[in-house]
């Protein structure tokens, strides 16, 4: 039986896919200790011998600040790894679903009628960080390979697993009476469970003859709605019933080694139309996560 290989299975998205799979025998879940995607020969050998039909690459070097100093490893994981997977996918006729990021854009947004509009898949990329640059290079390597691949960019990912903003806010809300959160960076939180369900639906559709025109394309996915990190934090405190005051501050008051996008809203119309998806609003999805973790 042909298998679905999930790489980076201990991360937020990989863990949600694992839970959603219900331990189905159709899935193989690997971590970096099982399969090092930086090693071309190891990837080739694994894909060949595991009889893989579909690869879902959730693995990434996601430490945005760390990537600035650990550039070599960021490139190996975010660029060379996807290149190796694409090469093996082409060689062994496997399909590849690769997860990318909003950081491929400069985060300034695109003006439209005096406002900013969501980033579309065909908007010009201009990363401002090593993380964004290496992820963009990974996209380019996959497209150049001409393997049967689709790329899904996402942003502001959180889940019941791993480290994320929701877990951090809950912990701080339990420990402190007041915290400060930036209110001038806007985006759409992405519930990894929702993205996992979308990927599952896409995997099914990629097995249909009509899937061919989708290969080599980029799609955007995040939850619906727009908020600031401050808005997100306030809602988290409210849903967890935490008595912690959230103070809004500017990005200038919270400097980081790497510039964070001021605007990360993604246009999801293409992925919804192509794969007949309905995307929940971020507030509804956050409520689901809170119910799971109370």
Residue 52 three-state SS: strand
Rounded CA-CA distance 252/249 in Å is 8
Q: Using the 8-state DSSP alphabet, how is residue 88 labeled?
A: H
Rounded CA-CA distance 5/37 in Å is 12
* Residue 115 bridge partners (DSSP): 112
Q: Is 177 exposed, middle or buried (0-12, 13-18, 19+ CB in 10 A)?
A: exposed
Q: Taking residues 272-292, what's their average pLDDT?
A: 98
pLDDT of residue 1: 64
- CA nearest neighbour of 77 among 119, 121, 137: 137
Active site (annotated) includes residue 131: yes
Please tell me the pTM assigned to this model: 0.97
Instruction: Enumerate residues 6+ apart whose C-beta is below 8 A from 168.
Output: none
Domain ranges of the chain: 3-163+188-225+265-280
Catalytic residue, from 27, 103, 119, 131: name it: 131
Q: Is the pLDDT of residue 23 over 90?
A: no
Whether 220 contacts 266, CB under 8 Å? yes
Question: Which CATH entry fits the domain spanning 3-163+188-225+265-280: 3.20.20.370, 3.40.50.720, 3.40.50.200, 3.30.1540.20?
Answer: 3.40.50.720
Rounded CA-CA distance 38/34 in Å is 12
Model confidence pLDDT, tens digit, residues 131-145? 999 999 999 999 999
pLDDT of residue 207: 86
């Amino acid at each position: 039986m042909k298998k679905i290989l999930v790489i980076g299975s201990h991360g937020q998205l990989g863990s949600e896919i694992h839970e959603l799979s219900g331990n189905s025998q159709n899935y193989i879940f690997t971590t970096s200790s099982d399969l090092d995607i930086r090693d071309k020969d190891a990837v080739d050998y694994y894909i060949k011998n595991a009889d893989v039909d579909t690869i879902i690459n959730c693995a990434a070097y996601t430490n945005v600040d760390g990537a600035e100093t650990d550039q070599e490893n960021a490139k190996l994981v975010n660029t060379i790894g996807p290149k190796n997977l694409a090469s093996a996918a082409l060689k062994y006729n496997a399909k590849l679903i690769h997860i990318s990021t909003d950081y491929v854009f400069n985060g300034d947004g695109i003006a439209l009628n005096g406002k900013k509009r969501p980033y579309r898949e065909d908007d010009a990329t201009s990363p401002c960080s090593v993380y964004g640059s290496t992820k963009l290079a990974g996209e380019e390597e996959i497209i150049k390979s001409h393997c049967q691949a689709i790329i899904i960019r996402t942003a502001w990912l959180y889940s019941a697993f791993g480290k994320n903003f929701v877990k951090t806010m809950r912990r701080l809300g339990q420990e402190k009476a007041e915290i400060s959160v930036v209110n001038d960076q806007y985006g759409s939180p992405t519930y990894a469970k929702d993205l996992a369900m979308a990927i599952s639906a896409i995997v099914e559709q990629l097995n249909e003859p009509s899937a061919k025109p989708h290969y080599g394309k980029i799609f955007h996915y995040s939850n619906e709605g727009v908020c600031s990190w401050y808005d997100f934090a306030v809602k988290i405190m409210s849903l967890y019933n935490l008595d912690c005051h959230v103070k809004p501050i500017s990005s200038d008051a919270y400097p980081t080694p790497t510039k964070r996008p001021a605007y990360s809203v993604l246009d999801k119309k293409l992925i919804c139309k192509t794969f007949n998806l309905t995307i929940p609003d971020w507030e509804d999805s956050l409520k689901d996560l809170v119910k799971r973790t109370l």
